[in-house]
Structure 1
Amino acid sequence: MDKFEIELAATLKGHQNPIFTLEKGYFPNTFFSGGNDKGVVEWDLEKKTFKRILCAVSSSIYALHLIPNTSYLAIALREGKVMIVDVEHQKLVANLEVSNKAIFALQSIPTKNELVAVGEDGIASVWSLADFKKIYEFAISSNTIRTIALSYDQKKIAFGDKNGDLFLFSAEDYHFLLANQKHTMPITSLIFSRDDLQLLSGARDAALKISDVATLKEQFGFVPHMFTVYGIYPHPKYPIFATVSRDKTIKIWDEEDYALLKVISRDKFFDSHTLSINTGLWVGEDPYLLTAGDDKLIKVWKMTMS
């Protein structure tokens, strides 16, 4: 990995409450944010300014998911609904009554044209993206599920629950494959490695675990932060990933050996966040790293290779 520098390119203000989720936009150089405010905000990344309120919502937003190859944004709400909004025409397409409890995570499966929603009731709800009707549902855990990960080949789907358990299912027919307790506290972030051979999980126990997908046995683990690991974000081009945490820090890691490459925090003299960082996102042609959290701010970080 070549050397790189990171600098703050912009601080975006406008949210009145904590931000929980960021998602790439449908239009070039745009992205979305949501949280405890009663609306989804669209931002212009090129101008680094507010663009518009996409839509109003009736409760807190816990997840945003732009459905691939469409202009549809799925919005997961605390009240148990998932709104589908056409970003291009700014209109509500569907209002999915998923649960009477909070929905925390969304994942589409493009090869099947399906959307999976999970949340507080521990049940996965599968919806057709052709007509937005429920196809199937299956129980994962008796505990809250906060995170989903889909393998790159779209054949496996993983879930992490409040007990620290990891669950692996087939994404092709949703049959159960494996489960294993990986953490001592709730799992809050989850991704597959680029080759689909490993699962990376972060949790409220401040640990990051790397597990073998074939067996769910732990291969390696370390403590990247002082508190909850809220997100793990692979760079779109380089073999590095970022993590964000309740400890107010952003860290950049080498994918090959998990070496720490960079710490972004106020302690390191960056104009970074003052409260918990709840979410992150790499976005743009020459990707920016976006971070947001309880301080109601979105930070735009520019990475320069040297």
Structure 2
Amino acid sequence: MSKIQVNKLHTLTGHNDCIYALAEGSDPRFFYTGAGDGMVVEWDLDRPKDGKLIAKLPHSVYALEVDREKNHLIIGHNFEGIHVIDLNENKEIWSLKLTDQAIFDLKIFGNELFVGTGDGVLVVVDMTERAIKKHIKLSSKSIRVLSIARTKRQMAVGLSDHTIKVLDLANGLHPIANLSGHTNSIFALGFSPDETLLVSGARDAQLKFWNSVNYTLDQNIVAHMYAINYLSYREDGKYLATCSMDKSIKVWDVENHKLLKVIDKARNAGHGTSINKVLWSTYSGNIVSVSDDRTIAIWQIEVDNL
């Protein structure tokens, strides 16, 4: 059994509205945040207090994605489309009008960008041609979250119709599985680093562990008091962090599906309102969290194996 020690290292401020988006850079020393104020900011884990404004947009930003090969930051601009920033040059190189809906998630795979929108349409963008390749209507309800298993060439899509759809990236986005069991919108979704597991979390506060070989349910846990907003694995896949509208972060033993640690305001001077995203840094091993309280927290996580 493992024991987790937590130390809050930093509280970062600068956004003027709820922070919704969080992404690790191609150089994982850097991470990016996007908020309701339309600002996108770059942060340096070695000098965390010095945030750098990357973009200021007229509408809120719910989704960010980094093209690691090109070192481009892709911004999901609600009710508009995408903006592509060259991080080497610190300037926008192109943009594309896509939708009049919210953009809840972005994922890049090869030369294709997948955009999950508020009207249940998966927009596929050819990043080389800088053009829309196709629209796929998956539901009448929002697409909230995307996760890609790169080796398996599969993408899981979490929807507000309470289902998870698994699509085959190698075969024209052909459906592989339709997973049901959640009783509300799926906000959190992630393939484990070894791709043998898919974990989902929803507005129903439940965390589900799916065997991604045959997409059967291994275990269901009532994990939080309120909606689970996001999840992130430690790089080795042994541990998982979830964050919630209940203002807490929870750390889980992935193999045993066990809760190891609760990080909250009472115990750790945590966030005062809903925590919207977490990122388990591959650079420092720390956890980064962003919240409706307009702050970013950086948590040092130490694991003692008993």
After TM superposition, the score normalised by the length of structure 1 is 0.94
Q: Where does 1:201-240 land on structure 2 (aligned, <5 Å)?
A: 201-237=200-236, 239-240=238-239
Tell me the distance in 2 between the aligned counterparts of 1:28 and 1:208: 27
- Residue by residue over 1:182-240, the C-alpha shift from the partner in whole angstroms, topping out at 9 and shown as x without a partner, is 31110001111333233211000000112233544322101110001011110013511
Tell me the distance in 1 between the aligned counterparts of 2:217 and 2:135: 29
Q: Where does 1:30-179 land on structure 2 (aligned, <5 Å)?
A: 30-110=30-110, 113-172=111-170, 173-179=172-178
Q: Which residue of 2 aligns with 1:255?
A: 254
Tell me the distance in 2 between the aligned counterparts of 1:178 and 1:237: 26
1:228 aligned partner, one-letter code:
A
CA displacement at 1:66 relative to structure 2: 0.6
1:257 aligned partner, one-letter code:
N
Q: Which residue of 1 aligns with 2:14?
A: 14
Tell me the distance in 2 between the aligned counterparts of 1:40 and 1:154: 32
Tell me the distance in 2 between the aligned counterparts of 1:272 and 1:171: 39
CA displacement at 1:284 relative to structure 2: 4.7
Q: Secondary structure at the match of 1:219?
A: strand
Tell me the distance in 1 between the aligned counterparts of 2:69 and 2:244: 31
Determine if contact 1:152/1:195 at 8 Å carries over to the other structure: no
2:203 aligned partner, one-letter code:
R
Determine if contact 1:125/1:134 at 8 Å carries over to the other structure: yes
Q: Which ranges of structure 2 fall in alignment gaps of 5 or more residues?
A: none
Tell me the distance in 2 between the aligned counterparts of 1:305 and 1:180: 33
- Do the aligned partners of residues 145 and 235 (structure 1) sit closer, same or farther apart at CA in structure 2, a change above 3 Å counting? same
1:304 aligns with 2:298: no
Q: Secondary structure at the match of 1:48?
A: strand
Determine if contact 1:21/1:280 at 8 Å carries over to the other structure: no
Tell me the distance in 2 between the aligned counterparts of 1:213 and 1:88: 37
CA displacement at 1:148 relative to structure 2: 0.5
Q: Secondary structure at the match of 2:37?
A: coil
Determine if contact 1:202/1:230 at 8 Å carries over to the other structure: yes
CA displacement at 1:151 relative to structure 2: 1.0
Q: Secondary structure at the match of 1:138?
A: strand
Q: Secondary structure at the match of 1:146?
A: strand
Q: Which residue of 2 aligns with 1:246?
A: 245
CA displacement at 1:28 relative to structure 2: 5.5
Deviates more, 1:247-256 or 1:138-147: 138-147
Q: Which residue of 1 aligns with 2:192?
A: 193
Tell me the distance in 2 between the aligned counterparts of 1:238 and 1:182: 24
Q: Secondary structure at the match of 2:266?
A: helix
CA displacement at 1:33 relative to structure 2: 0.6
2:174 aligned partner, one-letter code:
H
Q: Which ranges of structure 1 fall in alignment gaps of 5 or more residues?
A: none
- Do the aligned partners of residues 305 and 201 (structure 1) sit closer, same or farther apart at CA in structure 2, a change above 3 Å counting? closer
CA displacement at 1:304 relative to structure 2: 2.6
Deviates more, 1:26-35 or 1:179-188: 26-35
1:97 aligned partner, one-letter code:
K
Tell me the distance in 2 between the aligned counterparts of 1:281 and 1:199: 17
- Residue by residue over 1:120-156, the C-alpha shift from the partner in whole angstroms, topping out at 9 and shown as x without a partner, is 1111111122232222221211211100011141511
2:15 aligned partner, one-letter code:
H
Tell me the distance in 1 between the aligned counterparts of 2:152 and 2:134: 18
- Do the aligned partners of residues 300 and 136 (structure 1) sit closer, same or farther apart at CA in structure 2, a change above 3 Å counting? same
Tell me the distance in 2 between the aligned counterparts of 1:223 and 1:2: 21
- Do the aligned partners of residues 144 and 129 (structure 1) sit closer, same or farther apart at CA in structure 2, a change above 3 Å counting? same
Tell me the distance in 1 between the aligned counterparts of 2:11 and 2:193: 31
Tell me the distance in 2 between the aligned counterparts of 1:170 and 1:60: 31
Tell me the distance in 2 between the aligned counterparts of 1:61 and 1:233: 20
2:286 aligned partner, one-letter code:
Y
Q: Where does 1:23-34 land on structure 2 (aligned, <5 Å)?
A: 23-27=23-27, 29-34=29-34
CA displacement at 1:67 relative to structure 2: 0.9
After TM superposition, the score normalised by the length of structure 2 is 0.94
